[in-house]
């Protein structure tokens, strides 16, 4: 009987120490926090920082976000002659996370304004890429970026945003 009591007491001490040192359980970020972080990643973070955050997502607290990509649903867009793959990464990130947040929190965030915000940043990212190419190929790059933007706004994600140019999300 004394051995059983000793084992139970030891077990209670071990469990108490484990619970005390483990700290509070980390909860998933709230709806407002997730929308705020998504808005920052889409509209307020320069591309280099976005790519850094993407590659360090397991250690920077952003692992809950959907970082998957399919190259803007068209491999030629990302790996075309002007390589818009970084713009596609952020565009896919925006679309996927708006849909994920809407599904998780049952709120209507996949709306025209938020889609337009992601589409607007896609065009800005492609324009930034075009500024990096040589001056004699820049007109072709810009023309292709406008074509991609038109198709994304007209056919991407469910409804057109051709008349919307928005630089921040609503939630």
- In this predicted structure, what is the pLDDT of residue 168? 74
**In this structure, are residues 130 and 149 in contact, taking their beta carbons and an 8 Å threshold?**
no
Per-residue tokens: 25 = 């359980």
Per the listing, tokens 């049952």 go with: 106
- In this predicted structure, what is the pLDDT of residue 139? 97
- In this predicted structure, what is the pLDDT of residue 69? 92
- In this predicted structure, what is the pLDDT of residue 163? 67
Q: How far apart are CA 91 and CA 72, in angstroms?
A: 7
- In this predicted structure, what is the pLDDT of residue 77? 56
- In this predicted structure, what is the pLDDT of residue 110? 82
Q: How far apart are CA 103 and CA 109, in angstroms?
A: 9
Q: 62-86, pLDDT tens digit by residue?
A: 999 999 998 877 655 556 788 999 9
- In this predicted structure, what is the pLDDT of residue 102? 92
- In this predicted structure, what is the pLDDT of residue 73? 77
**In this structure, are residues 113 and 169 in contact, taking their beta carbons and an 8 Å threshold?**
yes
- In this predicted structure, what is the pLDDT of residue 131? 96
- Domains, in order of start, for the chain: 29-158 (1.20.90.10)
0.75 exceeded by pTM: yes
Report the half-sphere exposure of 47 (CA within 13 A, side-chain side).
Answer: 17
pLDDT in tens, the chain (171 residues): 666 655 445 545 545 544 444 444 456 799 999 999 999 999 989 999 999 999 999 998 899 999 999 887 765 555 678 899 999 999 999 999 999 999 999 988 888 889 999 999 999 999 999 999 999 999 999 999 999 999 888 888 777 776 667 677 777
Per-residue tokens: 166 = 């928005």
């Amino acid at each position: 009987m004394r051995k059983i009591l000793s084992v139970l007491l030891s077990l209670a001490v071990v469990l108490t120490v484990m619970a005390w040192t483990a700290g509070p359980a980390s909860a998933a970020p709230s709806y407002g926090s997730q929308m705020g972080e998504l808005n920052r990643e889409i509209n307020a973070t320069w591309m280099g920082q976005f790519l850094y955050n993407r590659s360090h997502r397991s250690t920077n607290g952003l692992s809950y976000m959907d970082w998957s990509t399919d190259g803007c649903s068209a491999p030629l867009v990302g790996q075309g002659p002007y390589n818009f793959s970084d713009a596609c990464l952020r565009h896919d990130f925006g679309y996927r996370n708006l849909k994920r947040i809407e599904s998780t929190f049952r709120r209507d965030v996949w709306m025209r304004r938020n889609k337009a915000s992601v589409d607007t940043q896609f065009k800005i990212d492609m324009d930034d890429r075009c500024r990096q190419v040589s001056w004699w190929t820049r007109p072709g790059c810009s023309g292709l970026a406008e074509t991609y933007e038109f198709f994304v706004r007209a056919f991407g994600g469910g409804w057109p945003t051709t008349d919307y140019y928005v630089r921040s999300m609503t939630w």
